[in-house]
Amino acid sequence: MFIEFKDVSFKYYGNEQNILNQLSFSVEKGSMLAILGHNGSGKSTIAKLIMGLLEPTSGEIFIEGEKLNEKIVDTLRQKMGIIFQNPDNQFVGVTVKDDIAFGLENHQIPRDEMIRKIDEFAKLVDMQDFLNENPENLSGGQKQRVAIAGALAMDTDLIIFDESTSMLDPKGTKEINQMIQTLRKNYQKTIITITHNLEEALNADRVIVLNDGQIVLDGTPKEVLKEEAILEASGLKLIDGISLINMIQNYTIRIKNKEEIIQALWELTFKM
Amino acid sequence: MGIDFQNVEFKYSKKASKKQLDNINLHIDAQDEFIMIVGHTGSGKSTLVQHMNGLLLASSGTIKVFDTNMIRSKKIKLKPVREHVGLVFQFPEYQIFESTVLEDIMFGPKNFGKTKDEARELAIKAAHLIGIKDDILERSPFTLSGGQMRRVAIAGALAIDPDILILDEPTVGLDPKGKEELMNLLVRMHEETHKTIIMISHDMNIVATLAKRVLVMDKGKLVYDGNKENLFQNQTFLKTHNLDLPTASILAMGLKEKGLITYGKLPLTKEELFQVITGDIPNE
């Protein structure tokens, strides 16, 4: 078990209302969890709690079996990387190379190995031709890719994607989503993606949907993403393919090849 | 009337080899158009619209915006241009600064010389047009949700009562419900006022549902100007210019490939695809 939330509630000091209300969920090592919710549903607060940037008002958070508290937060934080929404807010280096090197330097890695690793990670995120470029001159998608290479360089076990595609164009979004799959398969990273794009939850092992600080749905993508009424009530909208499946299932007149069409729509949606 | 581009070229400097806009010819009516501009990042979409209200001036060629010839001259008056053509940038809520919603929406008309009372009237009208309720007009804009703040910013541009409203990716960063609400409001506003709407978007599902006319930009050139049906039928063209299909079209092609459905015209929306699957009208 990589992360476990036990009855976690959170409210800001002096506020009446809880932002998160009695959340319990867990994330297995090497798995991918998608947290869905509309803007303001409290989903980004979860990321801040995991990173130890906020403390639960009540309840407990465990990271690899250890209870998250002030004493160990610095040690635990080294296991985590986060990719933020705004690609402009996360650079430390003046060149792409420096930025990736920053994480490696923190781990006191010998120079030869460092050069080899920078190349490896830059190649992985397809930024090997931009090593001497200033990150400021890159497109949004390229910036996010450099940030991912930075997280890899820090050798974190967990990478949190906090709305990290919401400012990107469709091409950038697709690239980041493909990269997430590579991080899982080839680097066995644990992934948490926080998003309001239902498409991004399709590849997760588990999906939770948040509304008003509470978990309203919890299950596999196939189970969760077809719950039209609850998703709508949570400010989200069905993916077109799944919406069509629901429309076909609710249609009372006979449809030719009905079951085959439904099956094919699932497959096509998951391939997208 | 409206906007006219003839052989328009734009470079950032005389010596630059790259043309940001390359031989653009275009006419946009002052009324009733609903145009969406697509093209991948860096194709010149934003540069194009910035020529429509004088934020940028052409390096060569001619642009006429209503009565104004947009030439590089000290005498050019941009004020009347901007009364005709309003432009809303990406993430416009970053530019909100007044202490109440109403004050923020009034800023534009006041800036264009309206009295306080006139500005207030225009602001309230604009707020209603874009679905801002009276009870939030006296609130601080910074207590609003992202979707509401964006509407306030759009109302600020509408309050000048432009004939043409240009929006650069108005739905980016909004959650699905915020996106849907904003698009519905823009469509309703367009239908009520007949204002021409020009919108930059990457979202082919929105293009497939709403566009009356689509402009495709690629490497500074206007490579397509026409309806969405013809655009999405032409697979080779879409591939050449790196454009995606709407989700429903991708699903339709997948189903057809498996021999599960047949159609003459490629469905562009979920509803059209449902019609093909059932041979009926969707019961929504």
Are the C-beta atoms of A218 and A206 separated by less than 8 Å?
A: yes
- Note whether B247 contacts A253, CB cutoff 8 Å: no
Domain identity same for B112 and B249:
no
Counting the structural domains of chain A, the total is: 2
B41, B254, B280: residue with CB nearest A264: B254
Question: Is the Cβ of B176 closer than 8 Å to some Cβ of chain A?
Answer: yes
Residue range of the domain that includes B211: 3-228
Domain identity same for A61 and A174:
yes
Counting the structural domains of chain B, the total is: 2
pLDDT at B282: 45
pLDDT at B81: 95
Domain identity same for B17 and B143:
yes
A243, two tokens: 């919406």
Residues from chain B contacting residue A175 (CB–CB below 8 Å): none
The conformation of residue A132, written as its DSSP 8-state character, comes to T
Of A79-88, A195-204, A214-223, B148-157, minimum mean pLDDT range:
A79-88
pLDDT at B114: 94
A72, two tokens: 């160990």
In chain A, the residue whose alpha carbon lies closest to the alpha carbon of B258 is A264
In a domain, A231, yes or no: no
Residues of B marked as catalytic: 169
- Across the A:B interface, residue pairs with CB atoms under 8 Å apart total 96
Spatial separation of the C-alpha atoms in residues B155 and B88, rounded to whole Å:
10
**Residue A141 — very low, low, confident or very high, per pLDDT cuts 50/70/90?**
confident
Domain identity same for B33 and B161:
yes
| A79: pLDDT strictly greater than 90 | no
Domain identity same for A61 and A140:
yes
Pick A272 or B154 by higher pLDDT.
Answer: B154
In a domain, B233, yes or no: no
Burial track A31-57 (b if 16+ CB lie within 10 A, e otherwise): bbbbbbbbbbbbbbbbbebbbbebebe
A226, two tokens: 């077809």
Domain identity same for A115 and A199:
yes
Question: Is the Cβ of B78 closer than 8 Å to some Cβ of chain A?
Answer: no
In a domain, B240, yes or no: no
Residue range of the domain that includes A49: 3-225
Domain identity same for B34 and B164:
yes
Print pLDDT tens along chain B (284 aa): 899 999 999 998 888 888 999 999 999 999 999 999 999 888 999 999 999 999 999 999 999 999 999 998 878 899 999 999 999 998 888 888 889 999 999 999 999 999 999 999 999 999 999 999 999 999 999 888 888 889 999 999 999 999 999 999 999 888 888 899 999 999 999 999 999 999 999 999 999 999 999 999 999 999 999 999 999 999 999 999 989 999 999 999 999 999 999 998 999 999 999 999 998 654 44
Domain identity same for A82 and A104:
yes
* B214 HSE (CA, 13 A, CB side): 24
In a domain, A233, yes or no: no
Domain identity same for A220 and A257:
no
The interface predicted TM-score (ipTM) is 0.84
CA A30 to chain centre: 13
A172, A197, A241: residue with CB nearest B247: A241
Domain identity same for B102 and B196:
yes
Of A44, A49, A117, nearest to A77 by C-alpha is A49
Residues from chain B contacting residue A167 (CB–CB below 8 Å): 172-173
Q: Kind and range of the H or E element at B272?
A: helix B270-278
B114, two tokens: 């309206």
Domain identity same for A219 and A243:
no
- Note whether B175 contacts A247, CB cutoff 8 Å: no
- Note whether B175 contacts A167, CB cutoff 8 Å: no
Spatial separation of the C-alpha atoms in residues A59 and A63, rounded to whole Å:
14
Spatial separation of the C-alpha atoms in residues A187 and B176, rounded to whole Å:
32
The CATH number of residue A213's host domain is: 3.40.50.300
Q: What is the mean pLDDT of chain A?
A: 90
In a domain, B234, yes or no: no
- Note whether B41 contacts A139, CB cutoff 8 Å: yes
* Nearest chain B Cα distance for residue A261, angstroms: 7
CA A10 to chain centre: 21
Domain identity same for A213 and A248:
no
Domain identity same for A261 and A149:
no
| A236: pLDDT strictly greater than 70 | yes
**Residue A145 — very low, low, confident or very high, per pLDDT cuts 50/70/90?**
confident
For chain A, strand residue ranges (E) read 3-10, 20-27, 32-36, 58-63, 66-67, 80-83, 158-162, 190-195, 206-211, 214-219
